Amino acid sequence: MKRAVFPGSFDPLTLGHYDIINRGLTLFDEIILAIGVNANKNYMFSLEERVQFLLDTFKNEPKIIVDTYEGLTVDFCIKNKADFILRGLRNPADFEFEKAIAHTNRKLEKIETVFLLTSSGKSYISSSIVRDVIRNGGDYTVLVPDSVRV
């Protein structure tokens, strides 16, 4: 079985995440959407809300598992018998950042990182942009799946 972990804070889940996850389903038998918990980070949405966004969005997809974790992503992968980490790339800056993490993860464990380019119509979307739109009263609904409503 080819199992991948798609780690993130999903604060909130965006159409960019949704794009990568759906395309990843064609490559993997199972994808674990792993919400990383960082006590030093201030989130807009609670962990419970973020879990619910993912569960609601993928409720009809049996190949998706939603879980949370603390610590290293590679340790979570080992614990869950996942040989792959799935990541999305929006731009060259994402590539440089993600490349360093992928090399580090590969050095720590025998985990391969698979990169998918975000579809062109979604490459500008990021969780931080969505949070800014929400904070300023803009129409964020065009940037997120239907399950993400505040």
Active-site residue list: 17, 41, 90, 127
Q: How many CA atoms lie within 13 A of 109 on its CB side?
A: 18
State the Cα–Cα distance between residues 112 and 121, nearest whole angstrom: 27
